[in-house]
Structure 1
Amino acid sequence: MKEANSGDASTTPCISINGTPLDWSGRLSSHVDFHKDEILPLLQGRFLGYGIHGGVYETTCNGVQLAWKRKFCRYRIGDRERREIEIIKRLDHRHIIQLVGTYTHGPFLGLLMWPVATCDLATFIEDLDWFRRMDGAELNKDLHAGFFSVADSSDEGSMRAARLVALGIYSHLTVAEVIRMTAARLEHALGCMASAIAYLHYSGIKHKDLKPSNVLLSHNGLWVTDFGTATDFSILSRSTTESGERGTPKYFAPEVAAFAPSGRSADIFSLGCIFLEIFTLCIGYSLEETQRLRVHHDKSFQSNLDRILEWFNFGRISQREPSDSHLLGLVRCMIDRNPANRPTAQLVEEKLELIGGLCNTAESAPFFGSCCSTPMLAEQPAQAILPPDHSLLKREMTISIGNTYLIRPPRLNTYVFFIIQSIPDIIAEVHIFLFNG
């Protein structure tokens, strides 16, 4: 989305979506304060879902479908609403929702956003789990001729089938092929989400409420949305916050749950939890099996970390190829209890690309969609690898092995471990891959 003219962000005359100009208000302004007696120039379409403050509906402007979100703000727009608007306005990334226009109308604040998604990631995850739980006999039937006849017998099945078709999972495939394509689409989401969060963090913004329902999907894209709890670090004197909205308890980082100061690494923990849900489902576990790792306390990830790590260390984790072991190692780092030990979003993106190179697949980037064939990292300023004076090269350096853990049954003798170097300014990372022949 690009502004057609310069000027104040709240009164920009017009914007365009993929080359289509959108004067949604008819007043050549992206923001309008309507009188309470005025009729809004918007027609309410189909219901898209529930937001934190109410329903989200579809509307259309100049042939472009938009998501129409309304918030009840009593008698004025509050700081939270202004913050969300200002944050979204200055973001420009292929995996971040775009703000088309805003308005006030009596006690309501309206936001028009693009694109309109087919569903959110939470729903898509449940769809794959539902397909996996189908009777084995159904897996051999053609989706169009067989599955739809089964799906039509219940509203749930019909809706799930139609949703997958809308997402580009074609109806002529067998159910087994649909499961494979759905799992591949979920794995592509890993890199797309990492790219979005790397961009947010690079822009000085912490999301603070990362969860599958805040990730939207359509047949040709993925977008992170809902910035109502986001923090803009670019206007703060430090990069940690101590209070305010905290997000969703299931995906809280330990420091957030403890009401301690938290920074960008809290987003990494939440992202790691999402990665864990997706990965375990893709390698064959059901949602019910994954949920059994979170049976204690409030059933959040952070309050069940000991149980989850025990599963990492001693569980008989089903793995398809060597890359699975390394992806699990990355997830383990992302959900580390200590925020300082978690990787940055940029490093997560880089590691996903590296791990993807180990996959026995024809795809060049199995953890990224075709939209991310050119990494966002290339758009960021390059960083120097060595200090200008190269003085560190004259110092002695030691390398040791740390945090070794078993990830598969002992008889297979497969371990993952991390390299620790005494002068990290010289070697940023060391990757060693061991394979059992």
Structure 2
Amino acid sequence: MASPRDIPNPVETTTEGIGGHKNAEVATKVIEILNGAGYSEHIALVLNEGVTDYWLPIPKHTIMPAKLLDYITFEAFKNAQSPVLEKSYELDRTHIPLDTQATYEWNGVRYPKSLIYKRYLGEGGAGIVVEMQVAGGTTYAVKRIPRKTKYHEAKSQLRSIKQEIENLKKINHTHCIEFMGSYSDVKEIGVVMDPVADCNLDRFLSEFDHTGPDNRIVLASFFGCLADALVYLHWEVNIRHKDIKPKNILVKKNRIILTDFGISLDWSEQGHSTTNQEVLRSPMYCAPEADAGQSRNRKSDIWSLGCVFLEMSAVLRGFSPNFVKTKLGNSYFRHNLDGIRDAISAVRQQGPLDNYNPLELEWIEQMLQFENKKRLTSKELQLAISRSVSDPPFCGTCCNTEPAELYDNKTTKWHGVTVRRDNNVSGAWISKRLVDLYHLEVTSQQATLIINVGGRQLVSDTKADVRFILDTANHVENAECYVIPASFDLLIGTPTTVANNKWMGTP
């Protein structure tokens, strides 16, 4: 072992200091180990090497950084790490390194004792996905990632895992997978996520039943939902997905969910939105700029989503799930622009279904522009979809709603409801369920009004006097809403004058 006199003091060579180090917040147990073993002066060196709590427990000397072994033996580190490992596991949306007594073995694999193995779900990114259940009965998807056993491989792998989990912690969107927690033992990293999906989009499209009208409504709504998720990632949490493809998109009942953020890039810490040093995991859907090593940015995600949209459009319009790939000659999208054009032309001209209006092809053409700068942004895409008029609609109610409070005339209390926006509708509408539930005053109309929502035709010959407060407004709105039997609460169309001459619409 080298003498400390022969090696510069790592604390003196860093300008960040421990408290301000980028890895300090995710290395609290590593810091505790080194402090407990009497090696606090070497904490900065360990953090500079990228060693964090995701590395724990370190099971063998081959995973220890060589620089660290110059200061501390593996046995000394191992003895110091044992007391800080957790003896039980709870889902608290953090990463927890586990002691062996917190786990049990099932078919040669160790799992946290608080999670019960249910079934195998499939492959996911760099690991196997299984379904597990907590004692209370809730089930979760757990991605099991076997740990590398050599330092340089482990360093690269654990950097990627740390990035995925730290990105997942930031994400809170109905169309993105939810991070519930993670754990590590000597052999694996486990990432616990919600929900357990019914299938991925690849399988959903392959098994799509064109005879069911409700199926078309669900698939059409996925366009707006995925665009909404991408706007959230790009503009609210500063994350590019970087690996959008049907197998990384889950379906749970009628809900579409983006998942697998293993190579996502968070550029809020990068100082810029592009990078040349990126890993290609799924070249089939990668943007053209990937070939020449050019900078990739948010619009690279747009290309990938455009490829997915084209496959969705073909299936929506009655073509087989493999139609687009057949047109491409099974090559990558970016390598066969003629195949893309042929597929779009065929879908546009030969769609066999009634009410044929392939509006989505206009967006897809703008998403699959070879030149990065010419593509739509995610915000432009979302706006185009939300303003579209089609049957079935391309924007689901989940992505065009906001909370509000509705006044109950009998109890004189306010109750939480949901307001849905729909630019294709004029006026304001309310479900009969809410009218009855909150004792609203109803008046008859002389004329019967009809609207089309979600592929259904709804008729109203009554109005209800409504008082409500939008969460985004600071005042009470008074309005007359048309009463209809519907699943939504309040539906507001394009801005329209309400009873007190205020404007009801987006505040």
Q: TM-score range by the shorter chain?
A: 0.5 to 0.7
**1:201 and 2:275 correspond:** no
Q: Return the index of the structure with the highest Cα Rg.
A: 2
Deviates more, 1:25-34 or 1:221-230: 25-34
Shift of 1:289: 3.0
2:424 maps to what in 1? Answer: none
2:219 maps to what in 1? Answer: 186
| 1:351 maps to which of 380, 384, 388 | 384
Does the CA-based 8 Å contact 2:241-2:263 persist in structure 1? yes
Which whole-Å CA distance do the structure 1 matches of 2:305 and 2:245 have between them? 7
| 1:93 maps to which of 160, 173, 176 | 173
Shift of 1:195: 0.6
Cα gap change, 1:93 to 1:81, in 2 (>3 Å) = same
Does the CA-based 8 Å contact 1:97-1:115 persist in structure 2? yes
Does the CA-based 8 Å contact 2:93-2:179 persist in structure 1? no
| Residue type of the alignment partner of 1:249 | P
Does the CA-based 8 Å contact 1:186-1:278 persist in structure 2? yes
Residues 38-437 of structure 1: pairs in structure 2 closer than 5 A: 38-39=102-103, 40-41=112-113, 42-61=115-134, 62-75=136-149, 78-128=158-208, 131=209, 176-177=211-212, 180-202=213-235, 203-295=237-329, 299-312=331-344, 317-319=349-351, 324-355=357-388, 357=389, 359-360=390-391, 366-374=393-401
Shift of 1:325: 4.4
Alignment partner of 1:287: what SS? coil
Cα gap change, 1:375 to 1:241, in 2 (>3 Å) = farther
Does the CA-based 8 Å contact 1:321-1:360 persist in structure 2? no
| Residue type of the alignment partner of 2:350 | S
Shift of 1:247: 3.0
**Matched positions, count:** 303
**1:31 and 2:95 correspond:** yes
Which whole-Å CA distance do the structure 1 matches of 2:291 and 2:285 have between them? 9
Alignment partner of 2:263: what SS? coil
Alignment partner of 2:172: what SS? coil
2:503 maps to what in 1? Answer: none
Which whole-Å CA distance do the structure 2 matches of 1:311 and 1:115 have between them? 34
Cα gap change, 1:341 to 1:321, in 2 (>3 Å) = farther
| Residue type of the alignment partner of 2:232 | Y
Shift of 1:219: 1.4
Shift of 1:259: 2.2
Alignment partner of 2:350: what SS? coil
Which whole-Å CA distance do the structure 2 matches of 1:97 and 1:329 have between them? 29
Which whole-Å CA distance do the structure 2 matches of 1:255 and 1:186 have between them? 30
**Per-residue deviation, residues 285-316 of structure 1 (Å, max 9, x unmatched):** 22343222111xx6111111123224545886
Higher strand residue share: 2
Long gaps (5+) in structure 2 = 1-24, 29-87, 104-111, 404-507
Which whole-Å CA distance do the structure 2 matches of 1:204 and 1:321 have between them? 41
Does the CA-based 8 Å contact 1:10-1:30 persist in structure 2? no
Cα gap change, 1:329 to 1:309, in 2 (>3 Å) = same
Does the CA-based 8 Å contact 2:299-2:377 persist in structure 1? yes
Alignment partner of 1:43: what SS? strand
Q: Structure 1 stretches (4+) deviating beyond 6 angstroms?
A: 8-11
Percent identity, please: 30
TM-score by length of 1: 0.64
**Per-residue deviation, residues 201-259 of structure 1 (Å, max 9, x unmatched):** 01211100000111111115221000001000111122111022123111011011332
Cα gap change, 1:325 to 1:369, in 2 (>3 Å) = closer
Long gaps (5+) in structure 1 = 1-7, 12-23, 133-175, 377-437
Does the CA-based 8 Å contact 1:97-1:223 persist in structure 2? yes
Which whole-Å CA distance do the structure 2 matches of 1:219 and 1:27 have between them? 25
Cα gap change, 1:103 to 1:222, in 2 (>3 Å) = same
Which whole-Å CA distance do the structure 2 matches of 1:318 and 1:235 have between them? 47
Which whole-Å CA distance do the structure 1 matches of 2:27 and 2:192 have between them? 13
Shift of 1:329: 1.4
Cα gap change, 1:235 to 1:285, in 2 (>3 Å) = same
Deviates more, 1:333-342 or 1:75-84: 75-84
Which whole-Å CA distance do the structure 2 matches of 1:96 and 1:371 have between them? 13
Which whole-Å CA distance do the structure 2 matches of 1:29 and 1:328 have between them? 40
Cα gap change, 1:275 to 1:10, in 2 (>3 Å) = farther
Does the CA-based 8 Å contact 2:181-2:191 persist in structure 1? yes
Which whole-Å CA distance do the structure 2 matches of 1:29 and 1:206 have between them? 21
**Per-residue deviation, residues 333-371 of structure 1 (Å, max 9, x unmatched):** 00000010001111111111222x2x245xxxx112232
| Residue type of the alignment partner of 1:35 | D
Higher relative contact order (CA 8 A, sep 6+): 1
2:444 maps to what in 1? Answer: none
Which whole-Å CA distance do the structure 2 matches of 1:304 and 1:248 have between them? 16
Cα gap change, 1:32 to 1:127, in 2 (>3 Å) = same
Alignment partner of 2:116: what SS? coil
Which whole-Å CA distance do the structure 1 matches of 2:321 and 2:289 have between them? 26
- Give me the CA root mean square deviation: 2.7
Which whole-Å CA distance do the structure 1 matches of 2:116 and 2:355 have between them? 52
Which whole-Å CA distance do the structure 2 matches of 1:103 and 1:227 have between them? 17
Cα gap change, 1:194 to 1:266, in 2 (>3 Å) = same
1:404 maps to what in 2? Answer: none
Cα gap change, 1:373 to 1:235, in 2 (>3 Å) = same
